[in-house]
């Protein structure tokens, strides 16, 4: 047996192995959370979005925070698979690119739930897309929301295409070496007749490159467009040209945190330390440090802009004395203080520290979204309309439910699919 065959068989054996964790329990927990999400979504649809804590002035709160948050999580996946591909960082990109692309898709699915669910009349959500109707009316494309619809649809579609195209050779490999007939048929269909011919590789390689070239500006544009939901508004704290880069950096920041949160246990339980090496994690941590600093610069510029712009409402929007100032302090701690430990190589190589630090960043970035979206609304131009916001159990349940659903999908994927891009790693080994 050739060395390549041994390597190949070993990787697939590890991916197919029963991981050293109570798999059924994990499925049970995340599956129940998914059911909770489903039940709550039905409840919201049946009752009305008054079951959320949103109000006037806080017309957008948990659902939109979660939307922005989950979209942001997705960004690291595309960043790793597309941008690092173009930059030819294959050696640390390849081991985690499938995982992170998958994370992107599942995160965007969570995100996509919210713009529909938060609508007053969700059953008319399709009105944001141009379709010929009897009233002769069309989407109003000067609003940022159709931009959002276009960007998120594009992002999801292109991410799925990119992910799927990249996975075809490995799907064919599973097909060819599957033990059961059902698995062979299922993967046979999914692999779509991939035989690894030079012609297929030729077209595949160009297409993959093209998709990477499209995904790269796309990933930058998506969160820029999402940020314009706020930047085109005149609400204090929203109305600033700072938003697009600030959002993109924050998205990649939180995305890398999620990558680490997923990759560390995955490599541990599937014993893939030799593939997803310490160096891979180290590089992720470095990128977190960099984007963390961009985000911190964003906080600084936000305050400077408010001060320098001189507008009363912007100046009054003081996070420190805001009713929700605790969120501000949590955000500052998690997003600015915690990442500083990644200056140290020892910390970057300590998987526990990495994991906890990444969790903190995930919390902090959620807090940042809260800060941006809600706190400006609560301290709008009209002081008489200043209000407060408290999330309901439904809000919290749905947020928890999306984490459950996300994890559930992720577990399903790693259980049944080749989550390490074996063919690309084989190519790189050579």
Whole-angstrom distance, CA of residue 96 vs CA of residue 410: 14
Give the range of 95-103, 338-346, 363-371, 418-426 binding other proteins by CB under 8 A: 418-426
Residue 341 binds to other proteins (criterion: CB under 8 A): no
Candidates 27, 36, 90, 207: give the one binding other proteins (CB under 8 A).
Answer: 207
Whole-angstrom distance, CA of residue 275 vs CA of residue 102: 18
Nearer to other proteins, 62 or 406 (CB): 62
Give the range of 73-81, 117-125, 296-304, 330-338 binding other proteins by CB under 8 A: 117-125
Which two three-digit tokens encode residue 312?
């009363």
Residue 206 binds to other proteins (criterion: CB under 8 A): yes
Residue 325 binds to other proteins (criterion: CB under 8 A): no
Nearer to other proteins, 1 or 25 (CB): 1
The residues in 233-272 that bind other proteins, with binding defined as CB under 8 A, are 233-235
- Dump the DSSP string for 302-317: HHHHHHHH--HHHHH-
Residue 2 binds to other proteins (criterion: CB under 8 A): yes
Nearer to other proteins, 118 or 348 (CB): 118
Q: Residue 399 burial (CB < 10 Å; 0-12/13-18/19+)?
A: buried
Residue 225 contacts residue 172 (beta carbons within 8 Å):
no
Q: ∠ CA 388-301-248 to the nearest 5 degrees?
A: 80
Residue 194 binds to other proteins (criterion: CB under 8 A): yes
Nearer to other proteins, 34 or 94 (CB): 94
H/E segment holding residue 106: helix 90-117
Whole-angstrom distance, CA of residue 33 vs CA of residue 1: 45
Q: Residue 394 burial (CB < 10 Å; 0-12/13-18/19+)?
A: buried
Residue 210 binds to other proteins (criterion: CB under 8 A): yes
Nearer to other proteins, 278 or 311 (CB): 311
Candidates 22, 388, 393, 396: give the one binding other proteins (CB under 8 A).
Answer: 388
Give the range of 170-178, 245-253, 284-292, 397-405 binding other proteins by CB under 8 A: 170-178
Whole-angstrom distance, CA of residue 218 vs CA of residue 70: 16
Residue 88 binds to other proteins (criterion: CB under 8 A): no
Give the range of 81-89, 106-114, 128-136, 328-336 binding other proteins by CB under 8 A: 128-136
Residue 282 binds to other proteins (criterion: CB under 8 A): no
Give the range of 21-29, 53-61, 300-308, 358-366 binding other proteins by CB under 8 A: 53-61
The residues in 132-161 that bind other proteins, with binding defined as CB under 8 A, are 135-147, 149-151, 153-154, 157-158, 161
Candidates 122, 153, 160, 146; CA nearest to 43 is 122
Q: Who's near 61: CB < 8 A, 6+ residues apart?
A: 52, 53, 54, 370, 373, 374, 377, 389, 391, 395
Candidates 10, 23, 32, 202: give the one binding other proteins (CB under 8 A).
Answer: 202
Candidates 37, 40, 58, 112: give the one binding other proteins (CB under 8 A).
Answer: 58
Candidates 227, 277, 254; CA nearest to 95 is 277
Candidates 296, 238, 275; CA nearest to 429 is 275
Q: Residue 401 burial (CB < 10 Å; 0-12/13-18/19+)?
A: buried
Residue 67 binds to other proteins (criterion: CB under 8 A): no
* Least gap, CB of 281 to other proteins (angstroms): 25
Residue 224 contacts residue 45 (beta carbons within 8 Å):
no
Whole-angstrom distance, CA of residue 206 vs CA of residue 379: 51
* Least gap, CB of 152 to other proteins (angstroms): 9
Candidates 83, 412, 111; CA nearest to 256 is 83
Residue 119 binds to other proteins (criterion: CB under 8 A): yes
Give the range of 26-34, 78-86, 202-210, 335-343 binding other proteins by CB under 8 A: 202-210
Candidates 19, 74, 169, 237: give the one binding other proteins (CB under 8 A).
Answer: 169
Which two three-digit tokens encode residue 135?
């009233």
Residue 91 binds to other proteins (criterion: CB under 8 A): no
Nearer to other proteins, 55 or 340 (CB): 55
Residue 171 contacts residue 191 (beta carbons within 8 Å):
yes
Residue 24 binds to other proteins (criterion: CB under 8 A): no
């Amino acid at each position: 047996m050739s060395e390549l065959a041994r390597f190949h068989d070993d990787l697939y054996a590890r991916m197919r192995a029963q991981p050293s964790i109570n798999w059924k329990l994990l499925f049970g927990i995340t599956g129940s959370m998914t059911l909770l999400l489903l039940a709550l979504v039905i409840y919201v649809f049946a009752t009305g979005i008054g079951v959320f804590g949103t109000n006037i002035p806080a017309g957008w709160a948990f659902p939109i925070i979660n939307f922005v948050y989950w979209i942001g999580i997705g960004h690291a996946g595309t960043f790793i698979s597309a941008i690092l591909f173009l930059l030819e960082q294959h050696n640390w990109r390849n081991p985690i690119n499938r995982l992170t692309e998958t994370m992107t898709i599942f995160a965007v699915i969570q995100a996509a739930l919210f713009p529909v669910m938060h609508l007053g009349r969700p059953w008319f959500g399709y009105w944001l897309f141009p379709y010929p109707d009897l009233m002769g009316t069309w989407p109003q494309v000067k609003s940022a929301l159709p931009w959002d619809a276009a960007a998120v649809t594009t992002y999801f579609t292109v991410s799925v295409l990119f992910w799927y195209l990249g996975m075809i050779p490995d799907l064919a490999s599973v097909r060819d070496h599957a033990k059961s007939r059902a698995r062979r048929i299922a993967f046979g269909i999914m692999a779509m007749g991939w035989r690894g011919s030079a012609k297929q590789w030729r077209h595949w390689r160009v297409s993959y490159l093209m998709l990477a070239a499209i995904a790269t500006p796309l990933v930058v544009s998506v969160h820029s467009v999402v940020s314009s939901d706020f930047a085109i508004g005149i609400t204090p704290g929203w109305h600033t040209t700072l938003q697009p880069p600030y959002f993109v950096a924050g998205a990649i920041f939180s995305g890398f945190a999620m990558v680490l949160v997923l990759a560390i246990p995955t490599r541990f339980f599937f014993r893939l330390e030799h593939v997803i090496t310490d160096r891979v994690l180290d590089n992720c941590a470095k990128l977190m440090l960099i984007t963390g600093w961009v985000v911190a610069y964003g906080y600084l510029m936000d305050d400077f802009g408010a001060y320098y712009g001189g507008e009363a409402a912007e100046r009054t929007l003081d996070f420190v004395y805001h009713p929700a100032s605790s969120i501000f302090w949590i955000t500052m701690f998690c997003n600015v203080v915690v990442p500083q430990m990644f200056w140290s190589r020892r910390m970057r190589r300590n998987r526990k520290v990495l994991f906890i630090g990444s969790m903190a960043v995930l919390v902090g970035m959620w807090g940042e979204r809260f800060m941006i979206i809600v706190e400006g609304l609560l301290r709008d131009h009209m002081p008489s309309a200043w209000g407060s916001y408290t999330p309901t159990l439904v809000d919290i349940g749905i947020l928890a439910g999306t984490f459950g659903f996300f994890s559930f999908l992720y577990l399903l994927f790693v259980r049944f699919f080749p989550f390490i891009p074996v063919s690309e790693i084989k190519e790189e080994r050579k």
